[in-house]
Structure 1
Amino acid sequence: MQITQYTIGLILFAAANLFANSSGFALEKIHKERSIYRNIVITEDKGIRCMRFETRRKKVSNQACINLKQPNKLVFEYVQGTLLGLAHNPAPKRVLILGLGGGTLANVIHQVSPTSEIVSVDIDPAVVKLAKAYFGYQENAQIKSEIKDARVFVKRALLQKQQFDWIILDAFNGDYIPEHLMTEEFLAECKRLLSTNGLLSANTFSTSDLYDHESVTYQKVFNQLDIFKAPTKGNRVIFACNCDNFSLTKSLSAQLNRQLTSYGLDTNVLFEAVSSIVDWDVNARVLTDEYSPANLLK
């Protein structure tokens, strides 16, 4: 397995963690800071380091996690599912990630496709800072960060006539996806930002009360959808394409499959969790900028 700078960095994190816990005491909360948007807490438990957002509703949710003992093993199933998008295009020229978290997706995509230009956008500068400090997120000539609201970034990118081959929607505020990033108008803007045959992947939840509304909104903008449902968690990843007759390819080259396997992915199992079956109420109301009551429905 190729040893990368990212892997070395996480190994050093693990070594530091083992040293810190050599006295036998479990270190749980290792950092906490208040950003302009929320409280952000970095925790460690049994070799798993996580970034958590604390919200006014006292709800705590993990936004990013890494396995310090096995740095290349991806903790979240939805991250593994999102990477199936590489079956559609194994070497996208430009990738846009809206919602940084710990930077895991940017790091892995860079290692698998080092020629890809990756732009990670997050509204909170503290998230970017902590991703670098605690999760091995690194910027370089191919990976750049933008501190902006995702919708503002998309609108400006359209004015600049930019295009991306893969857009990944992974923005959460601690409670759920921000309302203005769920609407028909926003998704239409994302579709316009995609290159021909470009792919959109969106991390949502199978258990949300917004399930039907989200689904019909994506369906209206993109028509054909493939859905990955995490086998043991409540996440789902929506795949949609700026193309006709879309169906996510369920095979990978031998080289790409080996690369993804090194991150703990069983691609055969993951592909089995991808379906085009419409299991939502097609008569549900589409979410728009005028009708997006996410705060009431979730």
Structure 2
Amino acid sequence: MRTDLSALFALALTVVLAGCAPSDHVEGGRIVHRQKSMYRDIIVTENEEYRCMSFARRNGMQTCISLRTPTRLAVPYTRGVFAGLLANPGARRVLVIGLGGGVIPSAMRRIDPDLRIDVVELDPAVVDVARQRFGYREDPRLHTRIGDGRVFVRRQLRAGARYDLIVIDAYERVYVPEHLMTREFITEVKALLAPGGVVASNTFARGPLAPYEAATYQSVFGETRVVDMMLGNRIILAGRDGLPAPDVMRARGRALQPRLAEVGIFAGELDAWPQPPATGVRPLTDQYSPANLLFGHE
């Protein structure tokens, strides 16, 4: 386990790399764009340092970029999912469920231009805002699909597709699409992984929902690890065929550090720590998925 000193050191490095991490409300910011969709009210707020997307219906930050260094990942959890590339450095095909401002697939393309990336996003208005305000650009190896993430996963399974890395970034700070947080869905995600494939899922580090998330992933994958990030997020990391030893992943991070640095990632903050078995809670299922009710008990 990490000592308090090492945790503080990692935190200090995160702050140095990212500057002052943006808060849920961009302090002193002004609204520069507002767009309604059939799902939500999308607001883009900006101050001298950051531009951020939020969904007013839920009042939570979705994406931020630094106006001074827009290619660097400003929000900690967006860096954390890159632990998936250390777990499977040979990844060639990637699926990202949930676009936000598009900073994760954009950073992946910058690190490795040969990656083939599919992104699935429910809300076409989010895609529009990502393109207009956050510099998101598709190319022959980066494709955006509009639709429900679970439906897309099922269609890809039927088509015989397989992915080396699946990033799940569909959860908001105070809202979870419940059908994307059940054992049945996670089982479908595991089936969509190629041999050696890895899933990196942005989830919640604190609160009553956290052990249920852990129990759900562990009921499908067995071993899971966690990358603890600032602002209350954690990345759950799991592999179709298990995960490499932590020292192997750390060595890969050191080797990849020059390329990670291009998008503002320090390899040390991608350390994935064993997650203790979740006890005393049930895995969430299609029949039992009170994910959003659990927020009311924080």
TM-score above 0.5, yes or no: yes
Q: Which amino acid aligns with 1:127?
A: V
Q: Residue 41 in 1 paired to residue 37 in 2?
A: no
- Residues of 2 paired with 1:71 and 1:46: CA distance? 13
1:245 Cα deviation from its structure 2 partner: 5.8
Q: Which amino acid aligns with 2:45?
A: T
Partner of 2:99: 100
In structure 2, do the counterparts of structure 1 residues 71 and 227 end up closer, same or farther at CA, with 3 Å as the change threshold? same
SS at match of 2:219: helix
SS at match of 2:82: helix
Q: Residue 52 in 1 paired to residue 48 in 2?
A: no
SS at match of 2:289: coil
Judge conservation of contact 2:98–2:121 (CA < 8 Å) in 1. Answer: yes
Deviations for 1:40-68, whole angstroms, at most 9, x for unmatched residues?
0011023200110011xxx4111011001
Question: Greater Rg, structure 1 or structure 2?
Answer: 1
- Residues of 1 paired with 2:145 and 2:123: CA distance? 10
Deviations for 1:6-56, whole angstroms, at most 9, x for unmatched residues?
xxxxxxxxxxxxxxxxxxxx761001011000000011023200110011x
1:277 Cα deviation from its structure 2 partner: 3.7
Q: Residue 297 in 1 paired to residue 294 in 2?
A: yes
- Residues of 2 paired with 1:252 and 1:32: CA distance? 41
Q: Which amino acid aligns with 1:164?
A: Y
Judge conservation of contact 1:200–1:239 (CA < 8 Å) in 2. Answer: yes
Q: Which amino acid aligns with 2:274?
A: S
Partner of 1:284: 281
SS at match of 2:280: coil
1:182 Cα deviation from its structure 2 partner: 0.4
Q: Which amino acid aligns with 1:118?
A: I
1:126 Cα deviation from its structure 2 partner: 0.3
May I ask how many residue pairs the two structures share in their alignment?
A: 266
Which runs of structure 2 are paired with 1:63-142 in the superposition (5 Å)?
Answer: 63-142=62-141
Judge conservation of contact 1:226–1:247 (CA < 8 Å) in 2. Answer: no
Partner of 2:168: 169
- Residues of 2 paired with 1:277 and 1:192: CA distance? 22
Deviations for 1:194-220, whole angstroms, at most 9, x for unmatched residues?
001100000001113111111011001
SS at match of 2:212: helix
TM-score w.r.t. length of structure 2: 0.85
Q: Which runs of 5 or more structure 1 residues have no equivalent in the other structure?
A: 1-25
- Residues of 2 paired with 1:253 and 1:85: CA distance? 11
1:254 Cα deviation from its structure 2 partner: 5.5
SS at match of 1:250: helix
1:104 Cα deviation from its structure 2 partner: 0.7
Judge conservation of contact 2:83–2:200 (CA < 8 Å) in 1. Answer: no
Q: Which amino acid aligns with 1:49?
A: R
1:294 Cα deviation from its structure 2 partner: 1.3
SS at match of 1:252: helix
1:173 Cα deviation from its structure 2 partner: 5.2
Deviations for 1:241-276, whole angstroms, at most 9, x for unmatched residues?
0004654522226662101123222212442xx210
Which runs of structure 2 are paired with 1:1-298 in the superposition (5 Å)?
Answer: 28-55=30-57, 59-172=58-171, 175-230=174-229, 232-244=230-242, 246-247=244-245, 249-252=249-252, 256-271=256-271, 274-278=272-276, 281-298=278-295
- Residues of 1 paired with 2:74 and 2:243: CA distance? 33
Runs of 4+ in 1 over 3 A off after TM superposition: 244-248
Identity, % of aligned pairs?
38
Q: Which amino acid aligns with 2:208?
A: D
TM-score w.r.t. length of structure 1: 0.85
